[in-house]
């Protein structure tokens, strides 16, 4: 059955099945074409008549994931010009006052899409929540520091989408005063950045951060180095006009080449310390400290100004970094002899491995590396924000996802929690393996729904005295006080923290 809704830009036609209204590919901004690729986003132009929104819109410019990762996460990639759009799932387009969840996808700021099957919002709508998923500019278009162009265009896209939601979500039954923004990986990093960003204040009431950190930002100087390397790769001058004239496939090919160079040779003298350390030698294109959207690294802002933190649900997966070491074969190159050098390249004192080895007497060097990088990239910042915000009186809930994939070697890896959160296990067997526990998806999805409705996922809030973390696992989830505190303490003592 078709459903017609009126929004600020005009009328749209979606579909309704099993009492769930679905509207796909709704433009919230004008298409970023040519030089506009490197301009601030502009509101979508109005249209006459009724616009069909029954199919997913195009992805932002990108190439597919590398084969080893694509085999697990999927390889959907259909870039196109009119990529700044969002999807809406609602239980009642004619209703009012429904809680709203806004999903920001991950993908290392260079890949990803709101069209992936794992992000289908129908289960949230089934349970009384309006789910919105948005696209934003990626890679060079979204985050390269092009001289003469505004910085952080991808984040400006996200903020414009949140403003669109404030103006239009009531037409889908949603409450603009009860918006929770959530994301995973680069999407979770975006959420942390939005928490600390002055222009985003007031655009959402709560936040959920999945597998992210608040340190993945580049200095303007280091971002400029990356841009010059990209321009040299393309044989152009680093200007908006020159970049805007490059074919999108060439632009993405250059982007991939730069990312590959960084991973092969993460020399701080070439890339800058913030790219190598904050991007873990994996991400050349990061949000940039600009004094406007990002006054300082988000973690530093949130630690020094905890009043910025809204009620937050945040967590990590127990073995995040296995996704980056096992499928790619990188784990095979990590031995007891090479581990100290590899850790040093990430700015980590190799001596901290003693704490990790003591807790994992049978672990290989690759297992230890994955555990250390999981804490460095995800757990440490998440706990830091919980410690400071809860001490300031803000409600924060922490979780750890510990269920291990049925795919050999992945463990409780990065991105594994997503199909459980969205209750989309049938779309995730390449990542979960066969027969993932539906009861765990029921529990996790219910926690996210509860947080969207009431700000309470169903377990006690984080307290600096007990540091309680809810562990999602099967056959039974449980609460743990300050898990593996000796490891986190060793990591912190080895590094300067904000």
Catalytic residue list: 185, 320, 414
Q: Is 52 helix (H, G, I), strand (E, B) or coil?
A: strand
Which of 28, 21, 25, 35 has the alpha carbon at shortest distance from 7?
28
Measured between alpha carbons, how far is 281 from 274 in angstroms, rounded to an integer? 10
- The residues near 173 (Cβ < 8 Å, ≥ 6 apart) are 90, 91, 92, 93, 94, 95, 96, 97, 98, 130
Instruction: Count CB atoms within 10 A of the CB of residue 307.
Output: 10
Q: Is 146 helix (H, G, I), strand (E, B) or coil?
A: coil
Residue 185: phi and psi, rounded to 5, are 60, -120
Assess contact for 440 and 471: CB atoms under 8 A: no
Instruction: Count CB atoms within 10 A of the CB of residue 415.
Output: 22
Measured between alpha carbons, how far is 2 from 169 in angstroms, rounded to an integer? 19
- The residues near 299 (Cβ < 8 Å, ≥ 6 apart) are 192, 213, 214, 215, 381, 384, 385, 498
Which of 119, 274, 244, 237 has the alpha carbon at shortest distance from 187?
119
Assess contact for 20 and 7: CB atoms under 8 A: no
Compute the CA torsion angle 268, 274, 280, 282 (nearest 10 deg). Answer: -80
Residue 443: phi and psi, rounded to 5, are -70, -45
Assess contact for 98 and 176: CB atoms under 8 A: no
Measured between alpha carbons, how far is 63 from 78 in angstroms, rounded to an integer? 9
DSSP 429: H
Max CA separation in the chain (angstroms): 67
DSSP 284: S
Residue 76: phi and psi, rounded to 5, are -55, 130
DSSP 460: P
Assess contact for 223 and 234: CB atoms under 8 A: no
Q: Apex CA 408: angle with CA 404 and CA 414, to 5°?
A: 50
Instruction: List b or e across 96-116, with b for residues whose CB sees 16 or more CB atoms inside 10 angstroms.
Output: eebbbbbbbbbbbbbbbbbbb
Distances (CA, A) of 432 to 156, 300, 406, 429, 483: 34, 35, 6, 5, 24
- The residues near 265 (Cβ < 8 Å, ≥ 6 apart) are none
Assess contact for 485 and 415: CB atoms under 8 A: no
């Amino acid at each position: 059955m078709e459903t017609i809704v009126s929004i600020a830009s005009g009328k749209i036609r979606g579909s309704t099945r099993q009492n769930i209204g679905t509207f796909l590919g709704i433009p919230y901004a004008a298409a970023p074409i040519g030089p506009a690729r490197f301009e601030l986003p502009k509101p979508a132009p109005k249209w006459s008549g009724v616009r069909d929104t029954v199919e997913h819109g195009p992805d932002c410019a990108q190439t597919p994931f590398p084969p080893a990762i694509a085999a697990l996460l999927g390889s959907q990639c259909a870039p196109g010009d009119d990529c700044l759009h969002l999807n809406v799932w609602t239980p009642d387009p004619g209703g009012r006052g429904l809680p709203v969840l806004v999903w920001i996808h991950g993908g290392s700021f260079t890949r990803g899409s709101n069209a992936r099957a794992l992000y289908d919002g129908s289960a949230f709508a089934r349970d009384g929540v309006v789910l919105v998923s948005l696209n934003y500019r990626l890679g060079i278009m979204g985050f390269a520091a092009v001289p003469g162009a505004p910085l952080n265009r991808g984040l400006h896209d996200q903020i414009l989408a949140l403003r669109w939601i404030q103006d239009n979500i009531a037409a889908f039954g949603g409450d603009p005063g009860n918006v929770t923004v959530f994301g995973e990986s680069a999407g979770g990093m975006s959420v942390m950045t939005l928490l600390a960003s002055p222009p985003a204040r007031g655009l959402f009431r709560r936040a959920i951060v999945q597998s992210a950190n608040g340190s993945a930002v580049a200095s303007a100087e280091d971002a400029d180095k990356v841009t010059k390397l990209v321009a040299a790769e393309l044989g152009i001058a680093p200007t908006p006009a020159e970049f805007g004239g490059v074919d999108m496939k060439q632009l993405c090919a250059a982007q991939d080449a730069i990312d590959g160079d960084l991973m092969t040779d993460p020399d701080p003298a070439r890339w800058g310390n913030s790219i190598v350390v904050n991007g873990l030698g994996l991400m050349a294109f990061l949000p940039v400290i600009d004094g406007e959207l990002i006054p300082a690294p988000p973690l530093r802002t949130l630690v020094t100004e905890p009043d910025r933190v809204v009620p937050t649900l945040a967590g990590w997966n127990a073995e995040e970094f296995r996704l980056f070491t096992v499928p790619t074969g990188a784990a095979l190159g990590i031995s007891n002899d090479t581990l100290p050098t590899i850790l040093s390249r990430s700015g980590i004192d190799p001596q901290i491995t003693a704490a990790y080895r003591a807790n994992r007497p049978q672990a290989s060097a690759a297992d230890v590396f994955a555990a250390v990088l999981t804490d460095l990239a995800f757990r440490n910042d998440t706990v830091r924000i919980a410690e400071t915000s809860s001490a300031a009186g803000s409600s924060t809930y922490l979780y750890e996802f510990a269920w291990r994939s049925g795919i050999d070697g992945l463990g409780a890896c990065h991105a594994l929690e997503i199909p459980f959160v969205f209750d989309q296990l049938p779309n995730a067997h390449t990542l979960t393996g066969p027969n993932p526990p539906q009861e765990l998806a029921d529990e996790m999805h219910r926690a996210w729904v509860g947080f969207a409705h009431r700000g309470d996922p169903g377990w006690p809030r984080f307290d600096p005295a007990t540091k309680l973390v809810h562990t999602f696992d099967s056959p039974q989830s449980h609460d743990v006080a300050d898990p593996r505190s000796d490891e986190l303490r060793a990591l912190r003592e080895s590094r300067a923290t904000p």
